[in-house]
Amino acid sequence: MVSNLTLIVAIPLIIGLVNLCLPRVLQKLLTIAGLAYLLYLVYLIYKGGGEAAHLYGSVIFAVDKLSLFVLIFIQVLSFIILIFALKSIVPSDERFFFPLFSFTVSFCNGAVITTNSIIFLVFWGLSGVVLYLFGLIPRTDAASQSAKKTFVLVGGSDVFLILGLILVWFLNPKAGWGLWNTQIGLEGELAYIAFFSILIPAFAKAGGFPLHTWVPEFAKDAPIESVALLPAALDKLLGIYLLARLMFNLFQVTLTMHLLVITLGALTVIFAVMMAMIQHNGRRLLGYHAVSQVGYMIMGVGTGNPIALLGGLFHMVNHTMYKAGLFLTLGSVEKKTGTAELDDIGGLGKQMPLTFIAAVVCAFAISGIPPLNGFYSKWLVYQGTLELIQSVGRGAQIWLLICLMLAVFGSALTLASFMKFLHSIYLGRRQEKWAGIKEASPNQYLATLGLALLCLIFGLWAQPLPLAKFITPILADFGLNPAAYLGSYQPIPVLLLFGVIFILGLLVFVAIKKVRYDAIYLGGMEALEKFRIAGTDFYNEIKDMKPLRWFYRNAERKHFDVYDLGGQGAGWFTKLFQAVHRGILSEYNLWIVLGTLVIIGVIYWLV
Amino acid sequence: MKASIGWLLFAILIFPGLFFTGVLGLIVGWLDRKVSARVQYRVGPPFSQNFNDFFKLLGKETIIVRNGIHSLFVIAPLVALGSTVLIATLVGITLFQWLGVANDFGDLIVIMYLMMVFSVMVILGGSASGNVYSSLGAGREIKLLLADELAFILVCLVAVIKAGYTFRLDAILATQQAQGMFIASPSGAIAFIVGLLCLQAKMTLPPFHISEAETEIVEGPLMEYSGPLLGFWKLSQAMLWVALPFLLIALFLGGFTVEGYGILWSLLKYVGIVVVMILIKNTNPRIRIDTALHFFWKILTPLAFLATILAVLGV
């Protein structure tokens, strides 16, 4: 009998292939039926039906607690996003969108359940390819530029993954091509090269600093459903999945490496959110946040103690929910207005109330407002960091405290940035040209409200539901014992206490009930449209502040962008070779002789 | 000890929650007006003035902007009130542990994040009306939050470090009861001063009343509010006079004692903080938002950071 694990990879793959030659209506039906079946399969696997799949006698697919956890949320998220996509894609794009959607699910599933590093490499690479193809769907110049950038960064980092996995095999041949348990000690240059070679693709996929620059570009130009699917949700799951394998299974990580990863995490949080604040395009703003939130996951997984790991992994699923939700609400707005430029929209909250509610809940969740899920996971990450601080020397303590401070401040900046986002789209004064806009279609608001509801449920029942059922069991796989929390927070009593006062206030208001409706009061001035405040300029003071001004100016010119820096470096090399390439035969002879000498020298040195 | 529902209801509704915080807040509001009046050589209002104001607002008509988002406009002040009472209760339960209410609630991170809710509601409620002045004020409110938050995080971290790396408010208090108040050390003293200035900004008191700026943008986000809803806003603001100084007392002044002269000493801590804040309020003109950002990010944050380093070094 075929293993459920094989099915969960094969079914979406087959659906995708069949879909390439089906009419549009059947495409949708088949995809949704297939994904619903995958949900059932993953339920079976959760209930213990995940027996390993073999090929030529060796295990290729298996599940442990970590991959099961990621697998479940790949199915849940892709199903919800598919519901949204059913009636939102531009008809001409549907032809490619739905097959790509199934392929994506198949490849991501494959990557998380394979124990073999070569098969992992294949699925991982393919998931980068579908990302690129999604980016090409709009068929504009800007979109193909962004897709290219994405492919260069994500696909380019796969080269390092190949190198890293080969080195892992070389360092511990006994484990074969195993990915799940090599436990290599970090000693010697090769081990470090291997460690960094795997860290780079994990960062590139998840969008960690400094390899994050493709995320906002991709978010700006690709179809928004694909942005919600990959960079916002599944790429986070894959990238952090690899990071967790790297930190806990592949290597025995030293304190210095923990500190390095935490620092990169904190820098990711702060740099990306500073960039997000000043964006005028809604998609780019969300794209930068999709980067910034990765910082918390990296910090959590990088810290390496049980609480932080719980927090990091929990933040990973939380992020997929609220970020997918935010992208989709923006998608609903964009379908109605035709633009994601925040300056142009405004005051839509009254016309699109359900989308607005979903956006507010997701925005609160990402900013870490209790009792939503984003708060709980950040709270765990902070505690984990604090626990690490307790056990290190003073220099490292100060260093980690700076990281902790940046992370906590990062969520204030996130909040600020989302106040701007909500204000620019839903609040403030509406422009007359948007007067006719209506609520999004039911499949869209069901999807976004569903995600918002998940955020609330995972926030209120964080301990009994996601943590106890899915995440805490992972600790045992990694040989960690759950530790006591360093804080005390119970979401439900806190919400109830709050609710008592809220309801009391509401009762007072309703009991008094003297209400009159009137126009805006402007002290006798006329309410002209030119006095509208879009909200996009909220942070100009920060943008113009002295050291930050320099940073922002250079960042906008992409002076810190790895992609552009790499491009410049490559250009420089090309120029160098061009200069040498002069067409004089005797010079070519000289180069050949010199080159041969160098090769002989290298061989001599190696042997 | 596990808290029963009855205890929790008592805590949130009577003490140290709604009733206690509200009454004390309104009394402090009177103190504020009285001291301000004396500073300006006026007589000032009678003791009951703030209570009269609040109950009068409850009886007034609520005007809702026709084109605004009505539900959000109504909900925002209620959420702000709820979160303020919640903060006061969480801090108060820990401060008044002798009451026997379970103190399993005082977590510093939770309180810090809840404190942002008030600003968020000011922004959402204000801009739900679509008034241009409210939008202007909303933009300033959030910048002010950013300005003081960085320094405030460091201030909180100082207490966390000195208490042996814990986010639990009761552990922070217990450490101080064993080893003396944190303010007695150089790092604690610096952090306390910075914290006091942060409170000034968190409560949007002068010189940081940039988001309301009555003379310029007519109370900004609160401009369209009237009747009971305005009353709730004013009540929440009055309650901040209790919740935030109490938090500072818990973090650096060792909490309250209720034995013998301890009561007087406790009272002195609170009234001292409040009077200092009122005096700062009365002696400084409103600054611009960029000046506020500059002040907090370039002066107070480095100071608070210094305090953090000193705290790590054990000074």
Residue A218 pLDDT > 60, yes or no?
A: yes
Total residue length of chain B? 315
Cβ within 8 Å of residue A262, ≥6 positions away: A298, A299, A302, A303, A385, A388, A400, A403
- Mark yes or no for CB contact A532/B132 under 8 Å: yes
More confident residue, B102 or A321: A321
The predicted pLDDT at position A252 comes to 87
- Mark yes or no for CB contact B108/A487 under 8 Å: yes
The predicted pLDDT at position A530 comes to 66
Chain A within 8 Å of B130 (Cβ-Cβ)? yes
- Mark yes or no for CB contact A497/B66 under 8 Å: no
Chain A within 8 Å of B212 (Cβ-Cβ)? no
Question: How large is the average pLDDT for residues A34-41?
Answer: 92
**What global pTM score does this model have?**
0.90
H or E element at residue A53: strand A53-55
B79 vs A347, A416, A502: nearest CB: A502
Q: Which residues of B touch A394 (CB under 8 A)?
A: 312-313
Confidence of residue B1 (pLDDT cuts 50, 70, 90): very low
Burial class of residue B265 (count of CB atoms within 10 Å of its CB; 0-12, 13-18, 19+): middle
Residues 285-304, chain B, touching A (beta carbon < 8 A): 289-290, 293-294, 297
Residue B27 pLDDT > 50, yes or no?
A: yes
Listing DSSP states for B196-244 in one string gives HHHHHHHTT-TTSTTTT-HHHHTTGGGTT--HHHHHHHHHHHHHHHHHH
Q: Report the alpha-carbon distance of residue A491 to residue A495 in Å, rounded.
A: 6
User: Using one digit for the tens of pLDDT, what is the confidence trace for A550-579?
Assistant: 787 887 777 777 788 888 888 888 888 888
Smallest Cα distance from A534 to chain B, Å = 8
**Lowest-pLDDT range of A26-40, A520-534, B144-158:** A520-534
Do the Cβ atoms of B253 and B269 come closer than 8 Å? Answer: yes
3-state secondary structure of A445: helix
Chain A within 8 Å of B87 (Cβ-Cβ)? no
Residue B2 pLDDT > 60, yes or no?
A: no
User: Using one digit for the tens of pLDDT, what is the confidence trace for B129-170?
Assistant: 878 888 888 888 888 888 888 899 899 989 998 888 888 888
Burial class of residue B280 (count of CB atoms within 10 Å of its CB; 0-12, 13-18, 19+): middle
Test the A interface: residue of B116, B154, B224 with most A CBs within 10 Å = B116
Smallest Cα distance from B34 to chain A, Å = 29
Chain A within 8 Å of B58 (Cβ-Cβ)? yes
Question: How large is the average pLDDT for residues A522-530?
Answer: 70
3-state secondary structure of A252: strand
H or E element at residue A420: helix A394-426
Smallest Cα distance from A436 to chain B, Å = 14
Question: How large is the average pLDDT for residues A200-219?
Answer: 88
Q: Which residues of B touch A427 (CB under 8 A)?
A: 69, 124, 127-128, 130, 135
Q: Alpha carbon of B144 to those of A410, A414, A542, B65, B306: distances in Å?
A: 15, 14, 11, 26, 22
Per cent of chain A over pLDDT 70 is 98
The predicted pLDDT at position A529 comes to 66
- In chain A, where the domains are located: 254-511, 562-606
Q: Which residues of A touch B122 (CB under 8 A)?
A: none
Q: Report the alpha-carbon distance of residue A151 to residue A523 in Å, rounded.
A: 55
Q: Report the alpha-carbon distance of residue A207 to residue A202 in Å, rounded.
A: 8
Q: Which residues of A touch B86 (CB under 8 A)?
A: 494, 497-498, 501
Q: Alpha carbon of A507 to those of A487, A511, B78, B79: distances in Å?
A: 34, 6, 10, 13
- Mark yes or no for CB contact A401/B63 under 8 Å: no
Smallest Cα distance from B257 to chain A, Å = 23
Question: How large is the average pLDDT for residues B187-209?
Answer: 89
- In chain B, where the domains are located: 5-312
Q: Which residues of B touch A501 (CB under 8 A)?
A: 12, 17-18, 81-82, 85-86
The predicted pLDDT at position A599 comes to 95
**Lowest-pLDDT range of A387-391, A429-433, B277-281:** A429-433
The predicted pLDDT at position B98 comes to 59
Q: Which two tokens stand for residue A41?
A: 């399969």
User: Amino acid identity, residue A554?
Assistant: N
A429 vs B89, B132, B293: nearest CB: B132
Phi, psi of B4 (to 5 degrees): -85, 165
Do the Cβ atoms of A226 and A137 come closer than 8 Å? Answer: yes
Averaged pLDDT of chain B: 86
Q: Where are the alpha helices (DSSP H) in A254-393?
A: 255-277, 282-303, 306-337, 353-367, 373-390
Provide the total of helices (H) and of strands (E) in chain B, helices listed first.
13, 1
Nearest CA in chain B to A505: B78
User: Amino acid identity, residue A88?
Assistant: S
Q: Which residues of B touch A504 (CB under 8 A)?
A: 13, 18
Q: Which residues of A touch B130 (CB under 8 A)?
A: 347, 427-430, 520
Question: Buried (b) or exposed (e) across A390-400, using 16+ Cβ within 10 A?
Answer: eeeeeebbbbb
- Mark yes or no for CB contact B65/A427 under 8 Å: no
Q: Which residues of B touch A408 (CB under 8 A)?
A: 109, 112, 153
Question: How large is the average pLDDT for residues A490-516?
Answer: 85
3-state secondary structure of A438: coil
Question: How large is the average pLDDT for residues A167-180?
Answer: 82
Q: Taking CB atoms and an 8 Å cut-off, how many pairs form between chains A and B?
A: 243
User: Using one digit for the tens of pLDDT, what is the confidence trace for A42-74?
Assistant: 999 888 877 777 777 778 888 888 889 999 999
- Mark yes or no for CB contact B61/A517 under 8 Å: no
The CA-based angle A573-A136-A20, given to 5 degrees, is: 135
Smallest Cα distance from A490 to chain B, Å = 7
Question: How large is the average pLDDT for residues A472-479?
Answer: 85
Test the A interface: residue of B66, B78, B104 with most A CBs within 10 Å = B78
Q: Report the alpha-carbon distance of residue A385 to residue A319 in Å, rounded.
A: 19
Averaged pLDDT of chain A: 86
**Lowest-pLDDT range of A91-95, A189-193, A306-310, A328-332:** A91-95
Nearest CA in chain A to B160: A386
What does DSSP say about strands A184-185 and A251-252: parallel, antiparallel, or unpaired? Answer: parallel
B107 vs A487, A505, A506: nearest CB: A487
The CA-based angle A446-A451-A457, given to 5 degrees, is: 120
User: Using one digit for the tens of pLDDT, what is the confidence trace for B285-302?
Assistant: 888 888 888 888 888 999
Query: In 3D, which of A492, A451, A269, A493 has the Cα closest to residue A362?
Result: A451
- Mark yes or no for CB contact B106/A488 under 8 Å: yes
Q: Which residues of A touch B160 (CB under 8 A)?
A: 386
CA atoms within 13 A on the CB side of A603: 6
User: Amino acid identity, residue B109?
Assistant: I
Specify the residue for token string 């600790």.
Answer: A475
Q: Which residues of A touch B289 (CB under 8 A)?
A: 541
Q: Report the alpha-carbon distance of residue B76 to residue B233 in Å, rounded.
A: 9
3-state secondary structure of A515: strand
**Lowest-pLDDT range of B30-39, B280-289, B297-306:** B280-289
Nearest CA in chain A to B304: A405
Smallest Cα distance from B81 to chain A, Å = 7
Other Cβ atoms closer than 10 A to B288 = 12
H or E element at residue A517: strand A515-518
Q: Report the alpha-carbon distance of residue A521 to residue B68 in Å, rounded.
A: 12
- Mark yes or no for CB contact A496/B135 under 8 Å: no
A487 vs B9, B67, B168: nearest CB: B168
The predicted pLDDT at position B79 comes to 92
Residue A106 pLDDT > 90, yes or no?
A: yes
3-state secondary structure of A424: helix
CA A50 to chain centre: 27
Chain A within 8 Å of B117 (Cβ-Cβ)? yes
User: Using one digit for the tens of pLDDT, what is the confidence trace for A357-373?
Assistant: 999 999 999 988 888 99
The predicted pLDDT at position A598 comes to 95
Chain A within 8 Å of B163 (Cβ-Cβ)? no
The predicted pLDDT at position A449 comes to 92
- Mark yes or no for CB contact B135/A523 under 8 Å: no
Specify the residue for token string 């409200």.
Answer: A449
H or E element at residue A251: strand A251-252
Q: Which of A120-124, A172-176, B61-65, B311-315 has the highest mean pLDDT?
A: A120-124
A401 vs B3, B71, B312: nearest CB: B312
Test the B interface: residue of A388, A390, A401, A425 with most B CBs within 10 Å = A401
Residue A432 pLDDT > 80, yes or no?
A: no
Chain A within 8 Å of B74 (Cβ-Cβ)? yes
Chain A within 8 Å of B224 (Cβ-Cβ)? yes
The predicted pLDDT at position B245 comes to 92
B285 DSSP 8-state letter: P
- Mark yes or no for CB contact B312/A527 under 8 Å: no
